[in-house]
DNA sequence: GACAGTCTTCACGACTTCTTGACGGCGCTG
DNA sequence: CAGCGCCGTCAAGAAGTCGTGAAGACTGTC
């Protein structure tokens, strides 16, 4: 669920935004001041901040600048000021968008979606690490731990596909049908001969004792499991 | 230098934008139609697109959608339409910002800066250095280390695109599909012949022993990797 | 129109990867 | 204990991929 931090000192705006956003499935945090906003960004890690420029106390612009010293969270600025130099100042301070009040709710929501969408796709692919080797799913790379440090292990495309699938579902049993389907595609009613050959190749490269697999376990008659 | 693609059918707007942007040090490309715009994104890889919605021929919204099927280049939409539903449609189609005409030039420039800043990869290091050569991503320049000091190496546009993509994702495997998409655009179901030829050219210019690549490694059947 | 630079296309040999079939080990069942 | 199914291993040939050089197409400049 997307978390939005709404920063505004006017209660009715907070209420209006909060209601609208919650109705659309957002998780909403509210702040009334710049200080509170900065604290909540630290505590709750919102996915996007809606920030009124006209705050009492710390100026909204200062909030933007403070945030930008350490965070890249998208900031959509709200303001009654229409002057170009205000917009320029806010945007150059690090804001992502600038909406002047009064604003249409649907436009604001669309701009929020755009801001979140842009920053979202930072999908961090995990690195699966074992005592013997380490599978980096993002880099498509496998390193084997040795006394002299890590050594890169070269896998062929088929071997990588198999290992990747097992690593993504580590702990779970993956049936032979699933493996054949994902690696060789739907058309093939291939035999599981392939599976055996390629699994053996992976084990030879990664397992300390390939004939006694410790990580890539066979479940006879069912499939394979990465533990 | 930041490259901006301006898409508008009105000559005076093109001229105004082009003049203002060039005066501020932008590299400006101009397009009068949606088709031309799509082609120029493929050919010139702009860092940001300014797109008028009211184009003859292909609708501006369609241009946004087409681009978003394969590219993440920031798009700032210009439009005379002020209705919220137009803004929502454009933003949800994948635009990054929406500015209504008539617009203030300084505001547009600030929004462009914001769009470019956001998309700027979180490059911790805009210069990638190896023992043999040095890739300056900001300056789009490659220098080769020699006993007599550094020598600038000239790369063709295609070669640079390839090297840049690999350098930005250094350490990670980049699939042939990704490389073809980013360098040659979406329309082309090109063969990987191109890839092989241009990679060979880059290696000839940068690798100490081009037939035994040390930095630009081939992962057979999968892609290439900059280590 | 010649020219230089670039991109595309193609064919070939070298190399890597995949498939296929055979063989033996293991555990289970009748 | 023999038969059966399933699995791991091996090796050889088939299939595919990569690097390379060279020729032609295309572009913009002089």
Domains of chain B: 3-119 (3.40.50.2300), 127-226 (1.10.10.10)
User: Mean pLDDT throughout B64-87?
Assistant: 93
Please check the confidence at residue A188 and state whether its pLDDT lies above 70.
no
* Spatial separation of the C-alpha atoms in residues A93 and A104, rounded to whole Å: 24
User: Mean pLDDT throughout B51-62?
Assistant: 90
For residue A121, the chain B residue with the least C-alpha distance is: B72
In chain B, residues with a C-beta closer than 8 Å to the C-beta of A150 are none
* Spatial separation of the C-alpha atoms in residues A164 and A177, rounded to whole Å: 16
E strand or H helix at B181: helix B176-184
Question: Is B173's CB within 8 Å of A140's CB?
Answer: yes
* Res A126: pLDDT: 83
Confidence of residue A193 (pLDDT cuts 50, 70, 90): confident
* Res A88: pLDDT: 97
What does the H/E/C string look like for B30-48? EECCHHHHHHHHHHHCCCE
Query: Looking at the whole model, is its pTM more than 0.75?
Result: yes
Size of interface A-B (CB pairs under 8 A): 71
- Rounded to the nearest integer, the mean pLDDT of chain A is 92
* Res B85: pLDDT: 94
* Spatial separation of the C-alpha atoms in residues A37 and A14, rounded to whole Å: 13
Question: pLDDT tens for residues A88-114?
Answer: 999 999 999 999 988 999 999 999 999
* Res A18: pLDDT: 96
In chain B, residues with a C-beta closer than 8 Å to the C-beta of A110 are 87-88, 91-92
Which candidate from B111, B122, B221 shows the least CB-CB separation from A156?
A: B221
Beta carbons of B207 and B161 less than 8 angstroms apart:
no
User: Mean pLDDT throughout A38-57?
Assistant: 92
């Amino acid at each position: 669920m997307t978390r939005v931090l709404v920063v505004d000192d006017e209660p009715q705006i907070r209420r209006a935004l909060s209601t609208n956003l919650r109705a659309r499935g957002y998780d909403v945090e509210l702040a009334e001041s710049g200080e509170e906003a900065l604290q909540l960004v630290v505590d709750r890690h919102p996915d996007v901040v809606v920030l009124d420029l006209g705050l009492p106390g710390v100026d909204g612009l200062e909030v933007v600048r403070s945030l930008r010293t350490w965070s890249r969270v998208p900031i959509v600025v709200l303001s009654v000021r229409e002057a170009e130099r205000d917009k320029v100042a806010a945007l150059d301070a690090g804001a992502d968008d600038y909406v002047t009040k009064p604003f249409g709710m649907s436009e604001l929501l669309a701009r929020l979606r755009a801001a979140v969408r842009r920053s979202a796709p930072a999908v961090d692919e995990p690195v699966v690490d074992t005592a013997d080797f380490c599978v980096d799913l993002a880099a498509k790379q496998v390193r084997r731990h040795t006394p002299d440090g890590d050594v890169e292990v070269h896998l062929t495309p088929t071997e990588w596909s198999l290992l990747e699938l097992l690593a993504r579902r580590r702990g779970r049993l993956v049936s032979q049908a699933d493996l054949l389907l994902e690696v060789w595609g739907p058309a093939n009613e291939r035999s599981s001969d392939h599976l055996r050959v390629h699994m053996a190749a992976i084990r030879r490269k990664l397992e300390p004792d390939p004939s006694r697999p410790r990580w890539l376990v066979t479940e006879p008659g069912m499939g394979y499991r990465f533990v």
